Homo-oligomer: A and B are copies of this chain.
Amino acid sequence: MRETEIIDRIRLQSRKNYRHKTLIRGIGDDCAILRPSAGEDLVFTSDFVLEDRHFTLATHSAGAIGEKALARSLSDLAAMGAEPVFCLVSLAVPAKLGAVFVGRFYKGLLRIASKYSISLAGGDLARFDKVIADVMCCGRVPRGKSLLRSAAKPGQRIYVTGKLGTAAHAFTAGKPILPVPRIETGIALRKLGVSAAIDLSDGLSLDLARLCQESQVSAEISSHLLPIARHATLGEALHGGEDYELLFTAAPQVNVPSAVGKLPIREIGRVARGRPGVVLMDGNPLQSKGFDHFA
């Protein structure tokens, strides 16, 4: 099958899927076209999923890779409190996997797209000796209301959604990791008036340090407050990547609920005046041992 036919097929699939009203042209031109609504900011992120780094063909089906590729980027929208709008998907696959693999990848991706109401608007398709995908997601937020990493202030409380160490433990057990982007929760938290937020892609210790660095504050957390996943160790909860839960801060007067829908929310510590980027756990400095591609 030729590239043009494969793209035509993806285009047909994408048309049957959700289409955001501001997306006035999707697949089929040199660029997708968006007509932004007044009074809104647009947020943008892109994330790789690479064979033998983020998945293997042994542990993930083509559909699961498509799901994961989109879910990873959606998680960044969730961390801004954004509503998904559209995505661009760049995909490269080995010739031997061919059109069947591409079709299944997109079927998986579009299942997630449909679930989170995001339009597939374009991208790139190439041949390569390994499977690689890069997904760019665009979301929208009422003007000036994005949840920033830099908005944490001393005295605020630190919260985390869900359980920590889930993905690290699944990885150890050889199970595929399919992130669940916390889109609804992010929007709910933004409406609630929380301050800073980040998604936990590289582990609590590293991502909390990043949030503190951006806000020029330090953090004090307590190990006994951490919502550790069943069977996971404290180390997996602190340093394990790919949990894709939301970490956020809120002023004491904000009434943060104990759950959003079925997703529990747990207070784990306080933002403090202190050396920027430093995290103390039970009074001792916590090393950032989260995932680092170049460490």
Q: Do A30 and B294 have beta carbons less than 8 Å apart?
A: no
Residue of A1, A50, A82, A134 with highest tally of chain B CB at under 10 A: A134
Provide the bound-state CA to CA distance between A98 and B4, in Å: 36
Please indicate the chain B residues that have their CB under 8 angstroms from the CB of A3 in the complex: 292-295
Q: Do A43 and B31 have beta carbons less than 8 Å apart?
A: yes
Cβ contacts A172-216/B at 8 Å (1 or 0 each): 000000000000000000000000011100000000001000100
**What residue of chain B has the Cβ atom nearest to residue A132's Cβ?**
B132
Q: Min CB distance, A243 to chain B, in Å?
A: 15
- Known contacts A6-B294, A127-B53, A128-B53; decide if A33 and B29 are in contact (CB<8 Å): no
Binds B, one of A13-21, A138-146, A162-170, A225-233: A138-146
Q: Do A294 and B124 have beta carbons less than 8 Å apart?
A: no
The 8 Å CB contact of A29, one of B36, B38, B214, is B214
Please indicate the chain B residues that have their CB under 8 angstroms from the CB of A77 in the complex: 30-31
Q: Do B24 and A41 have beta carbons less than 8 Å apart?
A: yes
Q: Do A294 and B79 have beta carbons less than 8 Å apart?
A: no
Binds B, one of A56-64, A88-96, A262-270: A88-96
Please indicate the chain B residues that have their CB under 8 angstroms from the CB of A34 in the complex: 41-44
Provide the bound-state CA to CA distance between A2 and B292, in Å: 7
A68 within 8 A of B: no
Please indicate the chain B residues that have their CB under 8 angstroms from the CB of A214 in the complex: 28-29
Q: Do B29 and A90 have beta carbons less than 8 Å apart?
A: no
Please indicate the chain B residues that have their CB under 8 angstroms from the CB of A143 in the complex: 35
Chain A residues near B (Cβ < 8 Å): 1-4, 6, 24-25, 28-36, 38, 40-48, 50, 52-53, 76-77, 79-80, 82, 86, 88, 90, 92, 95, 98-99, 121-130, 132, 134, 136, 138-139, 141, 143, 146, 148-150, 197-199, 210, 214, 292-295
Please provide the 4 A-B residue pairs with the shortest distance between their CB atoms, ordered closest to farther: A31-B43, A134-B134, A36-B36, A30-B79
